[in-house]
Amino acid sequence: MKHLTEEELIGRYYNERGGEGEDFARAEEHLAACEMCAETYAALSWDLGEVKVIEAPARDEAYGERVWAALEPKLVAYKKRRWSWLRGGVLRGLSYAAVCGLLVAGAFIAGRLSVEKQKQTQVAQTPAPKPKPRVVVVVLSDHLDRSERLLVELKHVDAGSAEMMSPLRDEAKSLLAANKICRQKASHEDDPALTTALDRLDHVLDGLANQPGGLNSAAIERLQEEMNAEGLLFEVRVLRSRNPDEHGAGINRPNGGTI
């Protein structure tokens, strides 16, 4: 049988007062069974029972006021805390809110800047496609080829045949725009032979396309004479043979269409 230690007995003694303690039941059980521990505990109880509770000398009712009277001069009043509480509470809350607001705003701005930067990076990496100009490609050799055919038809057309007038006029109208472009390009490139030939061609085409009162036999004959006198057909053939490499090369015409 394991006897109770002095510490356990002391603990049991004081716990007994309050009726509490984890080992109270075990100690109680052991004390009931163990005569030696019971005697030891009885001695302990006697000793501690002899230790009288020290009774403090009585203080009169005015004791507290005397203590205060002696103490009061040593104390410095606290500063008003009502407003400091408000400052401490409300301003602290406001400052927290301000900090939170700044953080949110900062995060928002940072996010926006990041997105903008990403967009700029993407833009820098993939340059924006320039507005694609409407390009009209006028191939000089084709134009000369078509002009030659028109001039051949004009040369051999029967001035009295009215049914042939309309196709001639339509083709002349179609060639007239292209001819102006080719003429401008030739003038730009300082090609006087081509410029002169296209200038004459322009005159003939204009006569065919825009003949006041419509094409008639008199106008056809006049244009035929004009064409033959100036050797325009021959000149177009020479130019066409001179520029075989330009076949497929084009002349850009802004705001136009493919001719």
List 1, 25, 76, 128, residue binding another protein (CB under 8 A): 76
Alpha-carbon gap, residue 19 to 10, rounded angstroms: 14
Q: Is 156 in the site for another protein (CB under 8 A)?
A: no
Shortest CB 86 distance to another protein, Å: 12
Q: Is 52 in the site for another protein (CB under 8 A)?
A: yes
Q: Which of 247, 257, 196, 201 lies closest to 226 in space, CA to CA? A: 201
Q: Is 221 in the site for another protein (CB under 8 A)?
A: no
List 2, 22, 35, 54, residue binding another protein (CB under 8 A): 54
List 6, 23, 199, 221, residue binding another protein (CB under 8 A): 6
Of 6-14, 120-128, 152-160, 232-240, which segment contacts another protein by CB under 8 A? 6-14
Residue matched to tokens 């081509």: 194
Nearer to another protein, 14 or 96 (CB): 14
Give me the amino acid identity at 181: I
List 23, 29, 47, 158, residue binding another protein (CB under 8 A): 47
Binding residues for another protein, total number by CB under 8 A: 37
Neighbours of 220 (CB within 10 A): 22
Give me the amino acid identity at 226: E
List 1, 25, 56, 124, residue binding another protein (CB under 8 A): 56
3-state helix, strand, coil in the chain (%, to 5): 70, 0, 25
Query: Tokens representing 145?
Result: 């080829």
Note the Cα 153 to chain centre separation in Å: 63
List 33, 43, 91, 99, residue binding another protein (CB under 8 A): 43
Neighbours of 91 (CB within 10 A): 12
List 2, 19, 35, 74, residue binding another protein (CB under 8 A): 74
Query: Tokens representing 204?
Result: 């003939």
What SS3 state is found at 252? strand
Sites of contact with another protein (CB under 8 A): 6-7, 10-11, 14, 17-18, 43-44, 46-48, 50-54, 56-57, 59, 63-65, 67-68, 70-72, 74-82
